[in-house]
Amino acid sequence: MKRIFLLSLTVLTLAAGLLYWTLPEKRSGAPVLYWATQNDANKRETVALFKSWLAQQGLPPVDLRIDNAGLEASSPGGSPKVLVQGAAGIGGDLIDVYTYQLEMYQEAGMLADLTEDGRRGGFSSDMIYPALRGDLVLDGRQYGFPRQSGVDMCWYNRDTFERYHLPEPSPHWTWDEFEELGRRFVAATNPPGTRQRSYFIDRVWPPVLRRGVGLSTYNETGTRCTLDDPRAIEVLKRIYRWTIDERLMPTQQEQKALASELSGQDSAFSLFATGRFAMLYEGLWASMELRHMGKLRLGLVEPFTGGFRNALAGNGTVAIYAGTKHREQAEQFLRFLTSKPYNLFVARIGDSLPPVPAYTRSEAYFHPRGQENEWEARKNFAAATEEIGIGGTTSPFVLPILAFRIDNDTIEAMLTGLISPEEAARTTARRINEEIALRVRQNPSLQPLFAERQKIQRQIDERRAAGRPVPAAWISDPFLLAYYRAQGWLEKEAAP
């Protein structure tokens, strides 16, 4: 027995030694940094650029490796792999964070607070577009830095409109103009009695439509969901009419059917290139896909609205895992995202806008060589991000991903005929407000903030009812702050 024990101990010791000396750090001779992101050509080139930048800065080498976190990484729900690894204490050193994900990852304790290090290290949130800081900052604390930024706009193919003798959409158009032009396109491209094969646009984004009539997801202080407002019902009626009655855009099931026709190709971009979609509602990053479709004659207009011009702005953010063993090297990567080589790389490839606004005004951004058909679109994206871009709306009293799912699921139930637009609006507001009440009840630390904001909300309501201006500091919702400012409803603000 003693001999067996000694033999087992020897084997385990040798195995442990073998594991130690085969660790990535031992093989590469440099700290190994794992980046939880999608493994594509642009990310691989980013890795190579980072390594070159380190050498140019005279910094020790870092072995940055991509950990393909799954194709769901950019979806609002995030990647299950990232969440599981983070909760288990073995998350990637760097984590891609998209819209609606920041609060989820931060609440799980996965993200490092970078507020002070960002200021000292040259990657502060002050360096990015003001409208997009909410994607990085929670309760005044910074949790990442963008690798790209921008807004979603309406791409169109000039050849498609010319083929059917239709006028191109105007740069600043209303949802009535969208509806009229869409009807004409669908009638011209789908002969009576045949299965519909062409649509005017691939999708719409409800928050932008709501903002166009002056409505946000929440009230000014984030203490109540307001999606039972009559304006929300009007937006839902429009979405139903455009999807079901007028057939201007496909349902989810029709999208899947279209994708299956194309044998694995990206259906939206292929259908756009062939004229079966007149428009695509996407960010500048779509130009990378459209390049594979030939030299299309591209046009771009801002989102159509019910009156108030706006575009939803967001970042693709890189955060640092709170449990990383290579904090210094991870922060070097965020500083690299502010550098000239990286920002000009983003400008060249068109993966949305460079994270540092100054590089969006560069020649490399406006006039990439060989991509002349993108030049007008790039100019419009840059202007829209600064002029009408407004970040996403969240409330500290409900997880954004949960509110998003409730909103999305209710709209889908409406489109399948299970509930009316009126019922959908009431259901969405009720369910989100129930989640707010539950979260506040279960989190005593939130209760003082909730009570304080409710008090402020009563003061806002009183002032609005009396026609009096409201202090800007009282409004926590980024859209409503911009809307109040545009309507002249704020107290006079000090010059910046």
Neighbours of 173 (CB within 10 A): 18
Per-residue model confidence (pLDDT) at position 75:
54
Predicted TM-score of the model (pTM): 0.88
Taking the C-alpha atoms of residue 433 and residue 395, their distance in angstroms, rounded to an integer, is 11
Q: What is the pLDDT of residues 402-451, one digit of tens each?
A: 999 999 999 999 999 999 999 999 999 999 999 999 999 999 999 999 99
| Among the listed residues 95, 155, 149, 141, the one whose alpha carbon sits nearest the alpha carbon of residue 334 | 95
* 8 Å CB contact between 91 and 85: yes
Average pLDDT over residues 447-467: 98
Neighbours of 65 (CB within 10 A): 15
Per-residue model confidence (pLDDT) at position 495:
58
Taking the C-alpha atoms of residue 482 and residue 3, their distance in angstroms, rounded to an integer, is 77
Question: Does residue 381 register a pLDDT over 60?
Answer: yes
Taking the C-alpha atoms of residue 128 and residue 66, their distance in angstroms, rounded to an integer, is 25
DSSP3 helix / strand / coil % (the chain, rounded to 5): 55, 15, 35
Question: Does residue 19 register a pLDDT over 50?
Answer: no
Average pLDDT over residues 314-342: 96
Taking the CA of residue 451 as centre, how many other CA atoms within 13 Å lie in the half-sphere pointing to its CB? 7
* Phi, psi for 312 (deg, rounded to 5): -75, 120
- Flag the least confident range among 6-20, 37-51, 163-177: 6-20
24: left (phi over 0), alpha (psi -120 to 50) or beta: alpha
Q: Which residues make beta-bridge pairs with 180?
A: none
| Among the listed residues 478, 214, 481, 411, the one whose alpha carbon sits nearest the alpha carbon of residue 470 | 481
Per-residue model confidence (pLDDT) at position 90:
64
| Side chain identity at residue 294, one-letter code | G
Per-residue model confidence (pLDDT) at position 420:
98
Taking the C-alpha atoms of residue 323 and residue 88, their distance in angstroms, rounded to an integer, is 10
Q: What is the pLDDT of residues 29-86, one digit of tens each?
A: 899 999 999 999 999 999 999 999 999 999 999 999 999 855 444 555 555 566 666 6
Residue 450: its H or E element = helix 447-465
* 8 Å CB contact between 76 and 401: yes
* Cα diameter, the chain: 91
Per-residue model confidence (pLDDT) at position 10:
36
Q: What CATH number has the domain spanning 24-149+313-376?
A: 3.40.190.10
CA-to-CA dists, residue 421 to 38, 227, 259, 427, 428, angstroms: 37, 11, 28, 10, 10
* Phi, psi for 228 (deg, rounded to 5): -95, 10
Taking the C-alpha atoms of residue 301 and residue 152, their distance in angstroms, rounded to an integer, is 10
Average pLDDT over residues 5-12: 36
Per-residue model confidence (pLDDT) at position 70:
52
Length in residues, the chain: 496
More confident residue, 9 or 458: 458
More confident residue, 252 or 260: 252
- All structural domains of the chain with their residue ranges: 24-149+313-376
- Flag the least confident range among 79-88, 175-184, 358-367: 79-88
Question: Does residue 14 register a pLDDT over 70?
Answer: no
Per-residue model confidence (pLDDT) at position 3:
43
Q: What is the pLDDT of residues 286-319, one digit of tens each?
A: 999 999 998 999 999 999 999 999 999 999 999 9
* 8 Å CB contact between 240 and 445: no
Q: What is the pLDDT of residues 200-227, one digit of tens each?
A: 999 999 999 999 999 999 999 999 999 9
Confidence band for 11, pLDDT divided at 50, 70 and 90: very low
* Phi, psi for 173 (deg, rounded to 5): -120, 160
Which residue has tokens 């090297």? 329
Average pLDDT over residues 137-154: 94
Average pLDDT over residues 265-285: 90
Per-residue model confidence (pLDDT) at position 69:
56
Per-residue model confidence (pLDDT) at position 176:
97
Confidence band for 258, pLDDT divided at 50, 70 and 90: confident
Percentage, residues of the chain above pLDDT 70: 88
Percentage, residues of the chain above pLDDT 90: 78
